Structures are given as C-alpha cells and as structure tokens.
Structure 1
C-alpha cells in the first residue's frame, strides 16, 4: 500500500507525506529532483546509489539528482519527502 498526500507545492519546493505498509518494496526510481526523506513513523531500508541504509523515526536520507534509489519497508511507516524542483507527476 502506498498513500501520498501533497502538503505543499509552492515555489520550487514540494513536501509530500507518504504512508507505506510493512513489506512494501518500491521500484527502482531515478529523477532529476533532489529529494530529502524524513522518517516520521516506522522503519525502512533505503538503497541510494547502491548503498543500503536502515532508517528509523527521526532519520533523514538525502537523494541527489539523477541517482538510482529504492525503498523497502521494514515496519509500517510514514515518510515526509521534500523535492526540489516540484515533481509535476505528483501534483493533482
């Protein structure tokens, strides 16, 4: 399960709250946007540029522009994703 809610998309910054269910495995992703992911609830494994890291509540992951990345959810989690520039594909 993936549930996204755009919190703001003003100027060149976008903040999206993402709820992911335990056991979710994201597809490999790559985009021109810089991304910062803050773990608000739960835990997950981020793989960024081939480097794996376990994140828990309060941890932050930076994803540079055009770097291949993916997420695997260990425990139901809520992530705040910040993108710049705005991801037009996520705007309703």
Structure 2
C-alpha cells in the first residue's frame, strides 16, 4: 500500500527553506533550498545523514574538514559529527536522515 502525504515548506534559517519530502519512523527525506550566502549553522544530531547536492554550490564543514560540493555530489555525515555549510551559489540539498528527525515534523 502506498501512502502519499504533502508537507509544507517552512523557514529553517535566514535564506533557507526546508520541506519534508517523505518520512517514516526509520527514515526521512528533506529538501533544503538555500539562497546565496545563507548558512546551515554548525550543529550535530544523533541521526546519520546523507546529503545529495541537487543544485547550487556549497562549502561544507564536517568536524575539522572543509570541502566544496556541487550538483551530483553526495556524502554521509556520521551520527553526532558537528557539521554545517555556506551556500556559494543558490541551490537545493536533499538530505536523508535515519532515524527520522521528529523535530522537523
């Protein structure tokens, strides 16, 4: 059985919009839409996160490592790793979390 639910786009931070695309208790997929110069502030969480760059260009920091990514790039952020990003060119990140981020619902 397929269940489709629509989630609204909400403000996440200045210049950043967030929209849950799909979720269940074990997995969540979220689109983050960034304006140029907007930041995903440094933070950490218990969830494992996979990030796919749908569009745009970003400078990410994970722990002590900093790197730039663009369309088609993807990477995994381990549980509890401090991470954040700066948007260099407007774009969208597709993040997958396991387990679900209940704080986004």
After TM superposition, the score normalised by the length of structure 2 is: 0.83
Q: Give 1:61 deviation, angstroms.
A: 2.0
Aligned residues: 91
Does 2:60 align with 1:46? yes
Does 2:34 align with 1:56? no
* Separation of aligned partners in 2, 1:11 and 1:67: 21
Q: Which residue of 1 aligns with 2:89?
A: 75
Query: Is contact 2:16–2:39 with CA below 8 Å preserved after alignment?
Result: no
Over aligned residues, Cα RMSD in angstroms? 0.8
**Any gaps of 5 or more consecutive residues in structure 2?**
1-14
**Whose Rg is larger?**
2
Question: 1:42-75 CA distances to partner (integer Å, 9 max, x unpaired)?
Answer: 1101100110110000000210000000111100
Q: Which residue of 2 aligns with 1:14?
A: 28
Larger deviation, residues 64-73 vs 20-29 = 20-29
Structure 1 residue ranges, 4+ long, deviating more than 2 angstroms after superposition: none
After TM superposition, the score normalised by the length of structure 1 is: 0.95
